[in-house]
Structure 1
Amino acid sequence: MPSRRDALTGMAGLAMLGGSAAPQQALDQGLFTGFWLARSAPGFEAWDYAMQVGYPTALGFEDAATAAGFEAIRKAHKTLLIDGEGLAQLGRIVGSQRLDVVAVRGFAAQV
């Protein structure tokens, strides 16, 4: 039986591989310019996953068209339960912040 961490890894993988998860839909619809998802090393307890997204405008999620696009994704969303629990029971978002990218070199999508 997979652990919750393994199950969440599978869900995250769906997003990265173009499954029906919201991040891939947002990318396909132009709501994100890109995203990456990283899993913490085993034994690191502060967080399990970190995700960074790029938005097409400086307003980010506050852009009216972006917010409307995400609302449409939410309305069509189907909840996937793991052992009868949803994301709210499995974990929580521990932080969100705006970042100004100052340099990017050498990243390529490899899964």
Structure 2
Amino acid sequence: MKQMEVTIMGQSYLLGCPEGGEATLSRAVSQVDREMSAIRDAGKVKARERIAVLAALNLAYQLADGPAATTPARADENQTAPELEALIRRLDEALGHDGQLL
């Protein structure tokens, strides 16, 4: 498994990534970064941990809601919900292993 350094809300993370999965992981990281930044920029939530939880809930809701929640960025990914769920689980595991959520 390859390692890939990514940045979410200005903080760097080293994530495991299967060979050939770099573009998919980059899209997922961009989506998480956009969601978290939007919550932070709204100004109502300051704690990074709470921002991360709210972003995760928003993204999980979009995923569970199915095609009705598809955004232009997600429409081009050609991934099924189980593949996205597996990617989110891998990201959660990787972020959880460093002892800090964010």
TM-score by length of 2: 0.32
Higher helix share: 2
Which structure's CA Rg is the greater one? 1
Structure with bigger RCO (C-alpha 8 Å, 6+ apart): 2
